[in-house]
């Protein structure tokens, strides 16, 4: 667990570094094409601000994008009791609890550290899960909190979103460039800029993949050790797998946060290539490993 925590903290530093270098490279291409150094200065400032914003406010962005609302304890007593008991057992502070009004059963954890963590569950999850199954799901999410998975997962939301947005702006800006600009001696730089803009969503996807698949297996295992009942989570994942309707708030930027893909896709019906590039490992494989415990 401690190795995983250290690894996640290193990954976060790498993400910030990669993001800053990429953003500055885009800014440099803009500044050369438009012959304005102020664009590069602005890119550096944006990189600094966005890194700071991502660290401190990505959890708020994730919750807002997902449509999560604070779950009053008076209305969701059992949910609060389960989370509180699991937090005490794991030695973690009780996270803030949110509910997403959506019939699709799913859940995610977010935040920069255990002291600033939040757990969100859908109303669909609360409706279809028995208590032991709900405990399994919440123990999985608290494992993400304890392992600091939430740090790198949450930061990725805004960094990836920013990269994709800036790439889209760059591509659109090329349509409005004048012919005189296109005749400048830096045509190869324009080509590099276009390549960077095209590859940005690919880079963003690779980042999400790198931080998602392995940590799901680890959270499954550590969550089961927390409850001492692997069957609870295995049964919960079976129910989640059977529900093929996508979440109303499903979003590519936040998909890697959830316990399962929020797009309602059956893993067994996906091609081998789709499975490889998915942010989550196949749910039937996760169930198999849990029952082997």
Residue 261 a catalytic site member:
no
Q: DSSP state, 260?
A: S
| Distance separating alpha carbons of residues 254 and 84, to the nearest angstrom | 25
Question: Phi/psi at 67 (nearest 5 deg)?
Answer: 70, 25
Report the greatest alpha carbon distance in the chain. Answer: 69
Angle at 126 between CA 125 and CA 130, to 5 degrees: 95
Residue 39 in tokens: 């664009």
Q: Is 238 helix (H, G, I), strand (E, B) or coil?
A: helix
| Distance separating alpha carbons of residues 31 and 38, to the nearest angstrom | 7
Residue 180 in tokens: 């005189």
**Residue 255 burial (CB count, 10 A):** 20
Beta-strand ranges (E) seen in 57-187 are: 68-70, 96-100, 107-111, 117-122
Q: DSSP state, 114?
A: G
Non-local (6+) Cβ contacts of 287 within 8 A are: 234, 237, 238, 241
* Burial label, 38 (beta-carbon count in 10 A; 0-12, 13-18, 19+): exposed
DSSP bridge partners of 119:
97, 109
Q: Of the residues 78, 84, 135, 141, which is catalytic?
A: 141
Active site residue ranges? 141
């Amino acid at each position: 667990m401690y190795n995983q925590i250290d690894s996640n903290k290193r990954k976060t530093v790498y993400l910030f570094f990669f993001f800053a270098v990429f953003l500055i490279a885009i800014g440099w291409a803009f500044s050369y094409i438009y012959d304005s150094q102020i664009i590069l200065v602005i890119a550096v400032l944006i990189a600094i601000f966005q890194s700071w914003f991502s660290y401190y406010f990505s959890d708020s962005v994730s919750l807002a994008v997902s449509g999560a609302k604070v779950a009053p304890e008076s209305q969701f007593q059992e949910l609060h009791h389960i989370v509180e008991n699991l937090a005490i057992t794991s030695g973690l502070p009780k996270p803030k609890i949110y509910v997403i009004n959506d019939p699709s059963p799913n859940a995610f954890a977010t935040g920069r550290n255990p002291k600033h963590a939040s757990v969100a569950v859908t109303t669909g999850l609360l409706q279809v899960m028995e208590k032991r199954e709900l405990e399994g799901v919440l123990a999985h999410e608290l494992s993400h909190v304890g392992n600091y998975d939430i740090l790198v997962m949450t930061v990725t939301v805004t960094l990836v979103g920013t990269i994709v947005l800036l790439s889209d702006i760059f591509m659109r800006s090329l349509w409005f460039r004048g012919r005189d600009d296109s005749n400048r001696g830096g045509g190869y730089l324009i080509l590099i800029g276009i390549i960077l803009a095209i590859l940005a969503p690919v880079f963003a996807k690779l980042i999400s993949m790198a931080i998602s698949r392995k940590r799901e297996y680890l959270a499954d295992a550590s969550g089961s050790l927390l409850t001492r009942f692997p069957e609870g989570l295995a049964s919960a994942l079976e129910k989640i797998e059977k529900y093929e309707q996508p979440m109303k708030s499903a979003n590519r930027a936040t998909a890697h946060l959830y316990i399962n893909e929020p797009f309602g896709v059956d893993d067994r019906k996906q091609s081998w290539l789709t499975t490889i590039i998915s942010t989550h490992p196949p749910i039937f494989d996760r169930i198999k490993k849990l029952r082997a415990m």
